[in-house]
Amino acid sequence: MRCTSKTILPAVLAVSLSVSGCSFGNGLSDAFAVDRPGLGVQSQEEEADISYFAADLCVANEDVEAIEADTSRALAACFFNLDTKEILYAKNVHDRLYPASTTKIMTALVALKHGDLEAQTSVSKEAITFTESGVSTAQLKEGDVLTTRQLLYALLTVSANDAANVIAEQIGGSQEQYVEMMNEEALRVGATNTHFVNPSGLHDEEHYTTVYDLYLMFNEAMKYDDFIDMIKAPSYDVSYVAADGSAVEKTWSSSNLFTKGEVTVPDGMTAVGGKTGTTMAAKSCLVELFEGRQGTRYVAIILGCDERAILYQEMQSFLSALEN
Protein backbone atom coordinates (compact mmCIF):
# COMPACT_ATOMS: atom_id res chain seq x y z
CA MET A 1 0.00 0.00 0.00
CA ARG A 2 1.38 3.41 -0.96
CA CYS A 3 0.50 7.05 -0.55
CA THR A 4 -0.96 8.70 -3.62
CA SER A 5 -1.77 12.26 -4.51
CA LYS A 6 -5.46 11.40 -4.07
CA THR A 7 -5.09 10.21 -0.48
CA ILE A 8 -7.22 12.13 2.03
CA LEU A 9 -5.77 11.42 5.45
CA PRO A 10 -8.45 12.61 7.88
CA ALA A 11 -11.18 11.10 5.73
CA VAL A 12 -9.30 7.81 5.63
CA LEU A 13 -9.05 7.87 9.40
CA ALA A 14 -12.72 8.69 9.79
CA VAL A 15 -13.83 5.93 7.41
CA SER A 16 -11.47 3.48 9.04
CA LEU A 17 -12.93 4.22 12.44
CA SER A 18 -16.54 3.95 11.32
CA VAL A 19 -16.06 0.78 9.27
CA SER A 20 -13.80 -1.15 11.63
CA GLY A 21 -15.45 0.07 14.81
CA CYS A 22 -11.94 0.71 16.11
CA SER A 23 -12.66 -0.49 19.62
CA PHE A 24 -10.08 -0.12 22.35
CA GLY A 25 -8.08 -3.31 22.00
CA ASN A 26 -7.44 -3.55 25.72
CA GLY A 27 -11.09 -3.50 26.71
CA LEU A 28 -11.61 0.26 26.91
CA SER A 29 -14.96 1.65 25.88
CA ASP A 30 -14.97 4.50 23.41
CA ALA A 31 -15.68 7.15 26.00
CA PHE A 32 -13.66 9.87 24.34
CA ALA A 33 -15.52 10.54 21.09
CA VAL A 34 -15.25 14.23 20.33
CA ASP A 35 -15.68 16.47 17.32
CA ARG A 36 -12.29 17.13 15.82
CA PRO A 37 -11.18 19.37 12.95
CA GLY A 38 -10.60 17.55 9.67
CA LEU A 39 -13.19 14.81 10.18
CA GLY A 40 -16.40 14.66 8.19
CA VAL A 41 -17.42 15.94 4.78
CA GLN A 42 -14.71 17.90 2.99
CA SER A 43 -15.04 20.62 0.40
CA GLN A 44 -13.01 20.35 -2.82
CA GLU A 45 -10.59 22.96 -1.52
CA GLU A 46 -10.20 21.09 1.77
CA GLU A 47 -9.67 17.80 -0.06
CA ALA A 48 -6.88 19.35 -2.10
CA ASP A 49 -5.19 20.67 1.02
CA ILE A 50 -5.51 17.33 2.80
CA SER A 51 -4.24 15.38 -0.22
CA TYR A 52 -1.16 17.59 -0.25
CA PHE A 53 -0.72 17.03 3.50
CA ALA A 54 -0.77 13.23 3.07
CA ALA A 55 1.39 13.05 -0.05
CA ASP A 56 4.59 12.37 1.91
CA LEU A 57 3.05 10.02 4.47
CA CYS A 58 2.42 6.32 4.77
CA VAL A 59 -1.36 5.90 4.93
CA ALA A 60 -2.96 2.76 6.39
CA ASN A 61 -6.72 2.30 6.54
CA GLU A 62 -6.86 -1.47 6.99
CA ASP A 63 -4.84 -4.36 8.38
CA VAL A 64 -1.93 -5.30 6.10
CA GLU A 65 0.46 -8.26 6.14
CA ALA A 66 2.80 -7.71 3.19
CA ILE A 67 5.49 -9.42 5.28
CA GLU A 68 5.21 -12.34 7.68
CA ALA A 69 5.68 -11.02 11.21
CA ASP A 70 4.54 -12.27 14.59
CA THR A 71 2.74 -9.66 16.70
CA SER A 72 0.35 -12.10 18.35
CA ARG A 73 1.15 -10.83 21.84
CA ALA A 74 0.60 -7.15 20.96
CA LEU A 75 -2.62 -5.18 20.73
CA ALA A 76 -1.50 -3.11 17.75
CA ALA A 77 1.55 -2.80 15.53
CA CYS A 78 2.94 -1.38 12.30
CA PHE A 79 6.03 -1.57 10.13
CA PHE A 80 6.38 1.16 7.48
CA ASN A 81 9.00 1.83 4.82
CA LEU A 82 9.50 5.57 5.21
CA ASP A 83 11.25 6.01 1.87
CA THR A 84 8.81 4.19 -0.43
CA LYS A 85 5.80 4.91 1.83
CA GLU A 86 4.91 1.20 1.74
CA ILE A 87 2.78 -0.27 4.50
CA LEU A 88 4.60 -3.55 5.15
CA TYR A 89 2.55 -4.49 8.19
CA ALA A 90 -0.43 -2.93 9.95
CA LYS A 91 -2.48 -4.36 12.80
CA ASN A 92 -5.20 -2.39 14.59
CA VAL A 93 -3.31 0.81 13.79
CA HIS A 94 -6.33 3.05 14.46
CA ASP A 95 -7.36 1.44 17.75
CA ARG A 96 -7.15 3.88 20.65
CA LEU A 97 -4.74 2.56 23.27
CA TYR A 98 -2.76 3.80 26.23
CA PRO A 99 0.67 5.02 25.04
CA ALA A 100 2.63 5.13 28.33
CA SER A 101 5.94 6.96 27.80
CA THR A 102 5.78 6.92 24.03
CA THR A 103 3.82 10.10 24.87
CA LYS A 104 7.21 11.72 25.34
CA ILE A 105 7.69 11.80 21.57
CA MET A 106 5.09 14.56 21.48
CA THR A 107 6.51 16.16 24.64
CA ALA A 108 9.86 16.40 22.89
CA LEU A 109 8.36 17.59 19.59
CA VAL A 110 6.60 20.54 21.22
CA ALA A 111 9.75 21.46 23.16
CA LEU A 112 11.91 21.35 20.04
CA LYS A 113 9.38 23.44 18.15
CA HIS A 114 8.72 26.10 20.79
CA GLY A 115 11.60 25.97 23.26
CA ASP A 116 15.18 27.19 23.48
CA LEU A 117 17.48 24.22 24.04
CA GLU A 118 20.00 26.32 25.94
CA ALA A 119 17.43 28.02 28.20
CA GLN A 120 17.83 27.19 31.88
CA THR A 121 15.06 26.42 34.30
CA SER A 122 14.72 25.59 37.96
CA VAL A 123 12.99 22.39 39.05
CA SER A 124 9.78 23.00 40.99
CA LYS A 125 8.42 20.88 43.82
CA GLU A 126 5.29 20.15 41.79
CA ALA A 127 7.33 18.77 38.89
CA ILE A 128 8.92 16.08 41.04
CA THR A 129 5.82 15.14 43.05
CA PHE A 130 4.09 11.91 42.02
CA THR A 131 1.17 10.10 43.62
CA GLU A 132 2.22 6.65 42.44
CA SER A 133 5.31 4.63 43.25
CA GLY A 134 7.90 3.24 40.86
CA VAL A 135 7.80 6.23 38.51
CA SER A 136 10.81 6.54 36.21
CA THR A 137 12.69 9.76 36.96
CA ALA A 138 16.05 11.46 36.52
CA GLN A 139 16.04 11.94 40.32
CA LEU A 140 15.84 15.69 39.97
CA LYS A 141 15.60 17.77 43.16
CA GLU A 142 13.71 20.95 43.86
CA GLY A 143 15.89 23.92 42.89
CA ASP A 144 18.12 22.02 40.46
CA VAL A 145 18.91 24.12 37.39
CA LEU A 146 19.12 22.42 33.98
CA THR A 147 18.90 23.42 30.34
CA THR A 148 16.09 22.31 28.08
CA ARG A 149 18.60 20.20 26.14
CA GLN A 150 19.60 18.35 29.30
CA LEU A 151 15.98 17.82 30.26
CA LEU A 152 15.20 16.43 26.81
CA TYR A 153 18.04 13.93 27.10
CA ALA A 154 16.62 12.84 30.45
CA LEU A 155 13.19 12.59 28.83
CA LEU A 156 14.35 10.43 25.93
CA THR A 157 17.02 8.27 27.58
CA VAL A 158 15.82 7.30 31.07
CA SER A 159 12.24 8.30 30.18
CA ALA A 160 12.23 10.74 33.08
CA ASN A 161 8.76 11.80 34.14
CA ASP A 162 10.14 14.58 36.33
CA ALA A 163 11.96 16.00 33.30
CA ALA A 164 8.71 15.91 31.32
CA ASN A 165 7.01 18.02 33.97
CA VAL A 166 9.87 20.53 34.17
CA ILE A 167 9.89 20.94 30.39
CA ALA A 168 6.13 21.49 30.44
CA GLU A 169 6.33 24.15 33.13
CA GLN A 170 9.25 25.91 31.47
CA ILE A 171 7.80 26.15 27.96
CA GLY A 172 4.07 26.05 28.59
CA GLY A 173 3.97 28.04 31.82
CA SER A 174 2.22 25.11 33.48
CA GLN A 175 1.77 21.41 32.87
CA GLU A 176 -1.86 21.99 31.92
CA GLN A 177 -1.05 24.66 29.33
CA TYR A 178 1.70 22.50 27.85
CA VAL A 179 -0.71 19.59 27.44
CA GLU A 180 -2.96 21.94 25.46
CA MET A 181 0.01 22.65 23.20
CA MET A 182 0.59 18.91 22.80
CA ASN A 183 -3.01 18.30 21.80
CA GLU A 184 -2.93 21.20 19.36
CA GLU A 185 0.25 19.84 17.77
CA ALA A 186 -1.30 16.37 17.55
CA LEU A 187 -4.17 17.78 15.51
CA ARG A 188 -1.76 19.77 13.35
CA VAL A 189 0.13 16.63 12.31
CA GLY A 190 -3.12 14.73 11.68
CA ALA A 191 -3.19 12.66 14.86
CA THR A 192 -6.96 12.95 15.21
CA ASN A 193 -7.37 9.91 17.49
CA THR A 194 -5.06 11.21 20.21
CA HIS A 195 -5.81 12.96 23.48
CA PHE A 196 -3.15 13.81 26.06
CA VAL A 197 -3.76 14.57 29.71
CA ASN A 198 -0.16 14.90 30.92
CA PRO A 199 3.31 15.36 29.37
CA SER A 200 4.74 12.09 30.73
CA GLY A 201 2.38 9.30 29.73
CA LEU A 202 1.54 8.24 33.27
CA HIS A 203 -1.76 6.41 33.21
CA ASP A 204 -5.03 8.24 32.83
CA GLU A 205 -8.15 6.77 31.24
CA GLU A 206 -8.53 9.84 29.03
CA HIS A 207 -4.91 9.75 27.85
CA TYR A 208 -4.73 7.74 24.64
CA THR A 209 -3.40 7.51 21.10
CA THR A 210 -3.07 5.01 18.25
CA VAL A 211 -0.20 3.30 16.48
CA TYR A 212 -0.87 5.40 13.40
CA ASP A 213 -0.98 8.66 15.34
CA LEU A 214 2.33 7.78 16.99
CA TYR A 215 3.79 7.28 13.52
CA LEU A 216 2.61 10.78 12.55
CA MET A 217 4.14 12.33 15.68
CA PHE A 218 7.40 10.39 15.34
CA ASN A 219 7.63 11.30 11.67
CA GLU A 220 7.33 14.98 12.57
CA ALA A 221 9.82 14.77 15.45
CA MET A 222 12.41 13.14 13.17
CA LYS A 223 12.60 16.38 11.20
CA TYR A 224 14.69 17.73 14.08
CA ASP A 225 18.33 16.61 14.08
CA ASP A 226 18.48 17.10 17.85
CA PHE A 227 15.67 14.58 18.31
CA ILE A 228 17.55 11.98 16.27
CA ASP A 229 20.72 12.62 18.29
CA MET A 230 18.81 12.19 21.53
CA ILE A 231 17.05 8.94 20.67
CA LYS A 232 20.33 7.50 19.31
CA ALA A 233 22.21 8.06 22.57
CA PRO A 234 22.86 4.88 24.60
CA SER A 235 23.72 7.18 27.51
CA TYR A 236 24.19 10.84 28.31
CA ASP A 237 26.66 12.43 30.72
CA VAL A 238 25.17 15.48 32.36
CA SER A 239 26.46 18.17 34.71
CA TYR A 240 24.14 20.74 36.26
CA VAL A 241 23.81 22.94 39.34
CA ALA A 242 21.87 21.95 42.46
CA ALA A 243 19.85 24.37 44.59
CA ASP A 244 22.75 24.80 47.01
CA GLY A 245 25.12 25.72 44.18
CA SER A 246 26.97 22.41 44.13
CA ALA A 247 27.68 20.57 40.90
CA VAL A 248 25.68 17.47 40.08
CA GLU A 249 27.17 14.94 37.66
CA LYS A 250 25.25 11.92 36.42
CA THR A 251 25.03 9.48 33.54
CA TRP A 252 21.58 8.71 32.19
CA SER A 253 21.30 5.38 30.33
CA SER A 254 18.72 4.64 27.65
CA SER A 255 15.74 2.46 28.51
CA ASN A 256 15.77 1.17 24.90
CA LEU A 257 17.42 -2.25 24.64
CA PHE A 258 18.06 -1.77 20.93
CA THR A 259 19.89 1.49 21.61
CA LYS A 260 21.89 -0.07 24.45
CA GLY A 261 22.94 -2.94 22.18
CA GLU A 262 21.34 -5.54 24.45
CA VAL A 263 18.98 -6.70 21.69
CA THR A 264 20.53 -7.39 18.30
CA VAL A 265 19.32 -6.72 14.77
CA PRO A 266 20.14 -8.67 11.57
CA ASP A 267 23.35 -7.91 9.69
CA GLY A 268 22.92 -4.88 7.49
CA MET A 269 20.23 -3.36 9.73
CA THR A 270 20.78 -0.58 12.26
CA ALA A 271 18.52 0.25 15.18
CA VAL A 272 18.82 4.03 15.03
CA GLY A 273 16.74 4.85 18.12
CA GLY A 274 13.27 5.24 19.46
CA LYS A 275 11.10 5.59 22.55
CA THR A 276 9.95 2.99 25.02
CA GLY A 277 6.84 3.02 27.18
CA THR A 278 5.57 0.80 29.97
CA THR A 279 2.71 0.96 32.45
CA MET A 280 0.46 -1.73 33.88
CA ALA A 281 -2.42 -0.53 31.71
CA ALA A 282 -0.44 0.16 28.53
CA LYS A 283 1.82 -2.90 28.88
CA SER A 284 5.07 -2.76 26.89
CA CYS A 285 5.31 -0.29 24.01
CA LEU A 286 8.03 0.81 21.61
CA VAL A 287 8.45 3.20 18.68
CA GLU A 288 11.67 2.48 16.79
CA LEU A 289 13.53 3.78 13.74
CA PHE A 290 15.60 1.27 11.76
CA GLU A 291 17.90 1.75 8.81
CA GLY A 292 18.72 -0.88 6.18
CA ARG A 293 21.95 -1.64 4.35
CA GLN A 294 21.09 0.77 1.52
CA GLY A 295 20.03 3.51 3.91
CA THR A 296 16.34 2.68 3.65
CA ARG A 297 14.49 3.84 6.75
CA TYR A 298 11.74 1.91 8.52
CA VAL A 299 9.57 2.79 11.47
CA ALA A 300 8.23 0.01 13.68
CA ILE A 301 5.64 0.58 16.42
CA ILE A 302 4.19 -1.92 18.87
CA LEU A 303 1.66 -1.08 21.57
CA GLY A 304 0.23 -3.27 24.31
CA CYS A 305 2.65 -6.19 24.28
CA ASP A 306 2.38 -8.67 27.15
CA GLU A 307 6.05 -8.61 28.15
CA ARG A 308 9.10 -6.48 27.36
CA ALA A 309 11.12 -9.46 26.12
CA ILE A 310 8.26 -10.47 23.81
CA LEU A 311 8.03 -6.88 22.56
CA TYR A 312 11.59 -6.97 21.26
CA GLN A 313 11.12 -10.45 19.77
CA GLU A 314 8.06 -9.29 17.87
CA MET A 315 9.85 -6.20 16.63
CA GLN A 316 12.77 -8.38 15.50
CA SER A 317 10.27 -10.42 13.48
CA PHE A 318 9.69 -7.36 11.27
CA LEU A 319 13.38 -7.22 10.46
CA SER A 320 13.73 -10.94 9.91
CA ALA A 321 10.82 -10.81 7.46
CA LEU A 322 12.75 -8.36 5.29
CA GLU A 323 15.40 -11.03 4.71
CA ASN A 324 12.88 -13.59 3.45
Q: Which active-site residues does the annotation give?
A: 101, 104, 159
Q: How many CA atoms lie within 13 A of 37 on its CB side?
A: 10
CB 94 within 8 A of CB 210: yes
Edge-first strand order for the sheet with 270-279 is 64-65, 86-91, 76-81, 297-305, 283-291, 270-279
Q: Give Rg (Cα) of the chain.
A: 19
| Antiparallel, parallel or unpaired: β 86-91 and 64-65 | antiparallel
Other C-beta atoms lying within 10 Å of the C-beta of residue 120: 14
Q: What's the maximum distance between 2 C-alpha atoms anywhere in the chain?
A: 62
Cα 53 to Cα 132: distance, rounded to the nearest angstrom: 40
- Residues 249, 140, 122, 276, Cα dihedral to 10°: 100
Give the Å distances, CA to CA, from 115 to 152, 167, 201.
Answer: 11, 9, 20
- Residue 199 near residue 175, CB atoms below 8 Å: yes
What residue type is assigned to position 154 of the chain? A
CA–CA distance, 89 with 68 (Å, rounded to integer): 8
C-alpha–C-alpha distance, residues 259 and 156, integer Å: 11
**Which 3 state secondary structure label does DSSP give 228?**
helix
